[in-house]
Amino acid sequence: MKWFDRMRKGDRPPGLDRPAVGLSSPTAIASRRDLKAGRQITAMLTLASNDVDSGRYRTLLYRFLAESIPVVSACIWTWGRLAAAPGRFEIVEDGADAATAKEGRRRLDRLARDLYTNINGQRLGMTSFLVDAFTGLFRDGFFGGFATVKTDGSGIDTFVPVDAAKVGLEADGTKQPYLYLDRGESKLRLQRPDFYYLTLEEGVSTPLGRSVLQSVPFVTYVEQQLVDDMRRASHNSGFHRLHVRVTPPERMAGEADEAYTDRINGYFDATLSMIRSCEVDHNPVTWDNVAIDTIGPGRTYGLTNQWFYHHRAMVEEICAGTKLAPFLLGYSFGDTTSWSTFKFDMVMRQVQTVQAEMARFLEWLGDIDLALGGCRARCRWVFDNDLPHRAGDRTAVAGQRIDNIIKLVEAGLVDHDDARRAVEGLL
């Protein structure tokens, strides 16, 4: 906490002495002293020694499912990247002059470019940050971390995420429960003004959020059992065993029992020797009293087709458990284009509700950075969910609305001023 005091008064950027304003966190930042540099936060985030404690095994299970089972991995991948749409910071123009707005946009562009770093300290930018954040949010049900500032206190430096598996909830006597970070030898309370977290489907019984995978472990087990059964069946059907049937020859007139037995055994030994020495590209030659057959599944098409339908049902159950339409993973099964479009719109509406929570978090970071830089302005984050293939539909709808406005004017139901304002809202 001494690094702020080592700065000379004249070196502090304008507005740094005043508190950060417009923060949406539950605990407002009292002053610049509540923020720390990146190396100070990183030093506190040590790994915990116990990975199975306080319900965190469930988070570890979800991560195992997402890393090991293709359909679950595809669900998390799709959810995360649908939500991580391109976006941008915008300055809220209320009370901000042109110079302030320009400086604010410059600072926010720098923040979006440098917010996230990898283990080598390389700046990855907002795109990588949003993908990791949404992936953790959907997979673990929780995403949080610390906002760090530059060493000179002139703005936000980076955001340092924490491992959701190390975050727990604890009640201190009769006081309100609080979040903590398990560091192994100690617990770090997260009731701090520089800590921010987001949850998915937070409720009274799930204060740390709820993963989208919470309802699929059992169905996933059944699906994997089907895959294992098919693996074993396919292995057996690909490697048939030979079944050699030797018909004993007829007994010759006057042949003794011992001689007849030796002759039969000779036929058998010769056939066995021939089969053992027969290579893959060789053809066996036998007597007419020897038949070679195989032991294994016969007509397997019906069984394979039945397995396909059973496995498809399990895959659809997993997709439904993650609240994802199966067609988004390629399981369309004959859906029409209009029906697929409707379901995609339904999924995108769900995505927008999650994006709204992420937008508030990014606005929290942006407002702090503007305040530390002495820029008296506010910001907002806007996700761009528009897709090129839907531009034609939007244009057709806008054209129809303009035609309706023209008809209303011609019918004398609205005046030109109202019509002009309605058209401006469509542009």
The answer to whether 159 and 148 have CB atoms below 8 angstroms apart is: yes
Query: What integer is the mean pLDDT of 285-297?
Result: 73
What pLDDT was estimated at residue 99? 85
Domain count, the chain: 3
- Give the pLDDT band (50/70/90) at residue 38: low
Asked if residue 284 has pLDDT above 70, the reply is yes
Domain co-membership, 154 together with 182: yes
Query: Considering the domain boundaries, does residue 333 fall inside one?
Result: no
pLDDT-based confidence at residue 332 (cuts at 50, 70, 90): low
User: What is the mean predicted confidence (pLDDT) over 6-33?
Assistant: 44
Q: What is the pLDDT of residue 144?
A: 92
Residue 307 domain-assigned?
no
Same domain, yes or no, for 126 and 58? yes
pLDDT tens for 116-171 read 888 777 888 888 899 999 999 999 999 999 999 988 888 898 899 998 888 888 87
What percent of the chain is modeled with pLDDT above 90? 15
Question: Given pLDDT bands bounded at 50, 70 and 90, which one contains residue 305?
Answer: low
**Considering the domain boundaries, does residue 308 fall inside one?**
no
- Give the end of a domain, one of 286, 302, 318: 302
Q: In the prediction, which pLDDT does 25 show?
A: 44
> Could you tell me if residue 297 is inside a domain?
yes
Residues 260 and 294 in one domain: yes
Lowest mean pLDDT among 4-8, 63-67, 114-118: 4-8
Same domain for 127 and 16: yes
Tell me: do 201 and 290 sit in the same domain.
Answer: no
Contacts of 83 (CB under 8 A, 6+ apart): 130, 134, 138, 351, 354, 355, 358
Q: What is the pLDDT of residue 37?
A: 67
Q: pLDDT at position 4, please?
A: 33
Query: Looking at residue 229, what is its pLDDT?
Result: 81
271 occurs within a structural domain: yes
* Domain range for 255: 221-302
Q: What is the mean predicted confidence (pLDDT) over 283-304? A: 67
* 91 and 186 part of one domain: yes
Residue 57 reports pLDDT greater than 90: no
One domain for residues 353 and 405: no
Return mean pLDDT, the chain: 77
Residue 328 lies in a domain: no
Q: Is the domain of 167 the same as that of 111?
A: yes
61 occurs within a structural domain = yes
Q: What is the mean predicted confidence (pLDDT) over 243-271? A: 85
91 with 200, same domain? yes
Lowest mean pLDDT among 176-190, 238-252, 348-362: 238-252
Residues 205 and 225 in one domain: no
pLDDT value at 23 more than 50? no
Same structural domain, 21 and 165: yes
Tell me: pLDDT of 18 over 50. Answer: no
Question: What gap in Å lies between CA 92 and CA 124, rounded to an integer?
Answer: 26
Q: 172 or 54, which is more confident?
A: 172
Provide mean pLDDT across the span 46-59: 54
The arithmetic mean of pLDDT across residues 259-281, rounded, is 84
Query: For residue 209, is it within any domain?
Result: yes
- Asked whether residue 222 carries a pLDDT value surpassing 50, the answer given is yes
Q: What is the mean pLDDT of residues 22-42?
A: 55
More confident position, 54 or 266? 266
Instruction: Please state the rounded mean pLDDT for residues 206-232.
Output: 82
Is residue 149 a contact partner of residue 363, using CB atoms and an 8 Å limit? no
80 and 162 within one domain: yes
